[in-house]
Amino acid sequence: MKTAIVVFPGSNREGDAARAIAEITGRDPVMVWHRDSELPKVDLAIVPGGFSYGDYLRCGAIAAHSPVLREVKARAAKGMAVLGICNGFQIITEAGLLPGVLMRNAGLKFVCRNVNLRVETSQSLFTQAYEAGQVLSVPVAHHEGNYYADAATLDRLEQSGRVAFRYCAPDGTLGEAANPNGSARHIAGIFNETKTVLGLMPHPENAIDSLLGSTDGRGLFKGIAEALS
């Protein structure tokens, strides 16, 4: 599996994503600068977390129009897998690869802690190593992670099985107390129509080593590697 990681001014999780890919696949990814207009021939593009362009305007709004994102969009339309994590989720949503927007957290505070995620489907290349209903412990670190879309869009996501993860309690139940940012219907991650693009706010790349408190993120990268190798 060949992987490219897009790097912007202000990215800060590209190294973590690269380590996760290298550890799971045994192959280092290619780092691609935001001003590059070409993307190597790869199976997966990762848009990592951070604060691209200092989060000016809206988070991800400037990065969504960078030269390399135009190429990522074109490749995604042809079936290349794309994973957007945290700021990467904001970027690919601003770029139109996924519906909805990421707004300021409902509590208007930066949230940085482990949260529980419920896997909503195992029927995707990203989640095939998990079981539907499985609860994961994965860290979040964001100020604008409040996913919003209109009711019709949310219904379409639900009906087509495109909700990937939801924030939940340790036993998998849903509730406001377990939702760190006020996200609509407790959504933590969604797919595009073909489930080849995933955007999520939590950081699975920071949940691959027991020294960091959880290895629950390993399944996501294992699933990708098995599907694309």
DSSP conformational letter for 100: S
* CB of 156 closer than 8 Å to CB of 148: no
Catalytic residue among 34, 142, 143, 203: 203
CB-CB neighbours of 89 under 10 Å: 31
Catalytic residue among 34, 59, 86, 186: 86
Q: Among residues 115, 126, 85, 100, which one has the least CA distance to residue 184?
A: 100
| DSSP output for 4-32 | EEEE-TTB-SHHHHHHHHHHHHSSPPEEE
Catalytic residue among 71, 120, 144, 205: 205
Token pair 């933590």: residue: 188
Mention every residue, 6+ apart, whose C-beta is less than 8 A from residue 108.
none
DSSP conformational letter for 42: -
Q: Residue 14 catalytic?
A: no
Q: Residue 186 catalytic?
A: no
The residues assigned a catalytic role are 86, 203, 205
